Structure 1
Amino acid sequence: MDNLMRKLPIGIQTFEDIRRKNYLYVDKTALVWRMANLGKPYFLSRPRRFGKSLLLSTFESYFLGKKELFEGLAIEQMETEWTEYPVLHLDLNAEKYDKPEKLNDILSNHLTQWELQYGKGLDEKTPSARFGGVIRRACEQTGHQVVVLVDEYDKPLLQAITNLELLEEYRQSLKAFYGVLKSTDRYLRFVFLTGVTKFSQVSVFSDLNQLNDISLDYSYATLCGITREELTATFKPEIETFGRKNHQTPEEVVTAMERNYDGYHFHPDGDGVFNPFSVLNAFSKLELGNYWFQTGTPTFLIELLQKSDYDLRTLLNGIEAPVSSFAEYRVDANNPIPLIYQSGYLTIKDYDREFQNYLLAFPNDEVRYGFINFLVPFYTPMKNNDQGFYIGKFVQDLRTGDYDSFLTRLEAFFGDIPYELNDQTERHYQVIFYLVFKLMGQFTEAEVRSARGRADAVVKTPKYIYVFEFKLNGTVEEALKQIDEKGYLIPYQADHREIIKIGVEFSAESRNLNRWLIETIE
């Protein structure tokens, strides 16, 4: 088939549609069979648009015994019975949860549809009582245990996360509702709940503590997302077409895709996966873009960051954390990292087995620069529509060796920061420097460090290497002396490029650059 006729399933979340209408499908059915036959109650946390809805739809078709949909897939050689089970599929995606009654309405709507099929008990008034009744009757009437699939179980909680009163009301309602899955265990064949966030066990799942959380399981690290092997095998024609349009070899296309969309790890030893939404859109539009990031702005995450007074420099450089600090979100913990990780803006990059600490960092360039660009207006005078202008000018100055213009422009930049954004703390100034240099990293080799013994910033262009040291309430002379005494130049001494040392004195009183000194080393 001509690759131009191959149908990419962008936004298609129904397995039956994909199979009957001949969309491309990345085969995950071996893992589906494994889950269905090795356990019963599961929970999976994955970022938005990572294929959770399609995965649940695949389970639904499997448990409805629709063997014909799985022809040619891995599961066809594994399953022999194809038994039809009653399936209760609850999707909490399609509602805006801004009022207490919204959650009750959507639960009631699903329950009514199930009750039309399996009947309703006269004394079943609450959502949890009705849910338990439906499960029992479905099992008794069909002679088969029931399959329960819950898509985006946490959507109401996430939408109410900054409204503590509404959040608590939703939490109590969902706790009672999901708790039914424990009391009706004997009627259940399979239970699978998915969502973005794992709220702590004492919060939503305290009455459902038998769930097998596979969010960080090695065996299921690639359950959602596309592996490199799957990308090159399934999308070979699309890779070739993308390469012809962008004057790249297939190997160069895959490398560009890796840099922008790969890098998600859900186990330190598991294979990395590509973001499926961005991959499909890039192949469809034949160009790279921030497709995933643009589908949802992390405003509530920025609000949590600001409320928690979290040091952004730590976030931007990568965070070391035990699994207990990012695997579950606790509303009262004053820690935004679990939500940032679970929402897909951070991922596992390394694991220290001795001390059992994980390194969390941005998975790829799409997320790194999308997140930083989104942060900038909250901390600097730059708005989304003029960030490119600011950063482009900064980069051009350094590429041409016009460091004096760069520093003058930086001085003007700080002068534009509104007073209310500038709390006159050292951390605030450092965060702004971090954001500027991190954004420059899209176009240069820009590094910003916070560790002792390294320069504040290093920028590499084809002709120059700039080593920056900033001093708040210190002198430029002290800054240059520190560069020499701490050996910041040693890693670059063998480089052919011209090395430029820049000491910058920052005044807390004027809230701006005060003086700078430059020394060049040929």
Structure 2
Amino acid sequence: MKREQDRGKIWWGKLPCAIQSFEEMRKDGYAYVDKTDLIWEMVHDAKVQFYARPRRFGKSLMISTLKSYFEGRGDLFEGLKVEQKRQAAGETEWVKHPVFVFGFSASSFNGKNDVYEILNGFLLRYSEPYGLESDAPIDERFKRLILTAYEQTGRRPVILVDEYDNPLTDTLHPDQQELHQFYKRELRGFYKVIKECTEQLRLVVITGITQFNDLSLFSGINQLRNLSFDPKYATLFGITEEELLENFTEEINRIAERYRLDFDGMVAKLREKYDGYRFTERDVHVYNPQSIIFAFDACRLEGFWASTGTSALLATVFPTYDYDFSLLQQPVSSTYEDLKCMDITRKNPIPLLFQSGYLTLIDYRVMTDAVQLTFPNHEVRTAFWRVVVPLYGSGRDDSGNTAPFIASLDFGNLPQAMDRLQGLMAGVAYSTVARKKIEKEGGDTREGLYEELFQTALYAWFSALGMMVRTEVHSLKGRSDVEVQIGDKIFIFELKVGPMEYTAQDALAQIKKQGYASPYLGQGKQITLIGVSIDTRQETRGQMEWTSEELQ
């Protein structure tokens, strides 16, 4: 059967765009990356399990798969890996259990009754078949549902909670702390029932973005296991490159034809754009499943995850953090244990960035618990800096100059580009980041402070538009401030920031004297050297002069 979204295309297939139902995926013939061997492992693992992964990584599909498993829908699992697991274990009959799914992902939370309304809606639906009344508090009704389902069916119920933390991440901003704490209290009573009914339950699986250590919601559930970092489940969410090549060869060939690349070249592009996520000590990487599926469906390499991921969360929360974002131009260090908690001091956003998918592991040392993190891929790096860019402007309209600035560079109109840059630079000294940095340092007298701000702002602007950009690039004689590659064009910037003691010509002379362009010579690239002098004097702060020279 042809899907509506495929009409008019020269090809059509069963790509599971935004399909989160295992039953729908199997019955309607969508392409399915078989993870059911890991589903079987989950079924036979701890009684109460927790998994944290970024949004759009397949958590809802995993919950739906477990639902079908415990509803005894063996017909949906025919031909999948789980059959081999069950056969080896001597499991012949599919046993049906009462299954109760509570999902928080489909709603936004900004009112006092929002959590109650979600829980009440689910409980009304699940209680009706058992003839239960709805005249008691949520926790009492939940407990009554579990006990009654067990008594009437003789089977222990299964509880599945999808995106448990959505009410809490929606209210992370300091202005919403009263509502945030209210939601915590309401949810704590709901989860307390799981502890009280553990003996009557077959399995509990809870998913979310953030770790729960500091949320204290589940403190009473003694048997809860956080399996987010378990190497056994490293590939439960996301798509490995092996799975990509096994299941989507036709799609890779199709998109390769559009971009005029061979098969291996296209795989390399996909890897750069969407791969790179690593969540456990096991050195295995996965692709973002939504991004790669949407890219195949659109036959385009675009930033799909950011439009449906957690950018809104970061845009709301980041301005409240006291953190030097320029540190993220290079890999950052942390500990495995720190990554499991939210930082309530608002000084360290690394755990939030890791849990929400903006940073990923690149190294892990078991003996010391030390980890290094960086952006997983091009898509995420671009999405992150788009969130950060407004923090480097004096107002909301400043970021509107960024795209025309890049376009002017690309089309060779350097005077127009530098006019745009003047407008961008004018706001940096008065930006949110600048105010926080100056306040933290007790003034703006430190040498190099404004140079750091302007350099990071340039990096953010270029990165937000998907450009290849590097800062503090080392050469044999020194290091350039910012280097940008747009196609076959290389732009090397040297910034002189201060009370106009050094001119733009001085900056250009430094680029030439230090040989910053040497690594690119003889490659057939168009190289443009740009010297910039930016004024930090209070009355003329942000004003600049520039000069340039092209190399062939």
TM-score, L = length of structure 2: 0.83
Q: Residue by residue, what CA displacement relative to the aligned partner does 1:269-318 show, whole Å, maximum 9, x if unpaired?
A: 33111111111111111111111111246233233222122111113433
Instruction: Please state if 1:378 is matched with 2:388.
Output: no
**1:112 aligns to 2:138 (yes or no):** no
What amino acid maps onto 1:346 in structure 2? L
> Partners of 1:101 and 1:6 in 2: how far apart?
43
2:56 aligned partner, one-letter code: R
The correspondence of residues 386-425 of structure 1 with structure 2, limited to 5 A, is 386-394=401-409, 410-415=421-426, 419=430, 423=435, 425=444
Rounded Cα–Cα distance in structure 2 between residues aligned with 1:242 and 1:164: 47
**1:239, distance to aligned residue in structure 2 (A):** 1.3
Give matches, 1:51-450, under 5 Å: 51-79=58-86, 80=91, 81-120=93-132, 125-162=136-173, 163-201=176-214, 203-296=216-309, 298-353=311-366, 355-380=368-393, 386-394=401-409, 410-415=421-426, 419=430, 423=435, 425=444, 430-440=452-462, 445-449=468-472
| Distance in 2 separating the partners of 1:223 and 1:137 | 33
Which sits farther off after the overlay, 429-438 or 144-153?
A: 429-438
SS, match of residue 512 in structure 1: coil
CA distance in 2, matches of 1:491, 1:388: 25
Instruction: Report the identity percentage.
Output: 32
> What SS does structure 2 have at the residue aligned with 1:38?
coil
Q: In structure 2, the residue corresponding to 1:100 is in which secondary structure?
A: coil
CA distance in 1 between partners of 2:17 and 2:162 (Å): 18
2:494 is aligned with 1:468 = yes
Q: Distance in 1 between matches of 2:137 and 2:387?
A: 42
Deviations 1:316-347 (CA, angstroms, capped at 9, x unpaired): 43321112332211445543332222111221
DSSP 3-state at the match of 1:244? helix
User: 1:32 is paired with a residue of what secondary structure?
Assistant: helix
Amino acid at match of 1:15: F
Q: For residue 113 of structure 2, what is the amino acid of its counterpart?
A: E
Tell me the residue number matched to 2:536.
507
Partners of 1:467 and 1:489 within 8 A in 2? no
Q: Distance in 1 between matches of 2:257 and 2:485?
A: 31
Q: Which moved more, 1:47-56 or 1:460-469?
A: 460-469
Which residue of 40, 44, 49 corresponds with 1:42?
49
Aligned-pair distance for 1:465?
6.7
The letter for the 2-side match of 1:287 is: R
Q: Greater CA deviation, 133-142 or 345-354?
A: 345-354
Go from structure 1 to structure 2 and tell me whether the alpha carbon gap of 1:385 and 1:145 turns closer, same or farther (over 3 Å shift). Answer: same
Consecutive unaligned residues in structure 2, runs of 5 or more: 3-9, 439-443
Q: Normalized against structure 1, the TM-score is what?
A: 0.87
The CA distance in 2 between the partners of 1:248 and 1:516, in whole Å, is 39
Partner of 2:481: 456
Q: Which amino acid aligns with 1:168?
A: Q
Cα distance in 2 for residues equivalent to 1:232 and 1:350: 25
Give the drift of 1:359.
1.7
Gaps of 5+ in 1: none
Distance 2:147 2:514 in 1: 70
Which secondary structure does the structure 2 equivalent of 1:326 belong to?
helix
> In 2 relative to 1, CA 96–516 (structure 1 residues): closer, same or farther, beyond 3 Å?
closer
Tell me the amino acid that sits aligned with residue 129 of structure 2: Q
CA distance in 1, matches of 2:450, 2:366: 34
Question: 1:354 Cα deviation (Å)?
Answer: 5.7
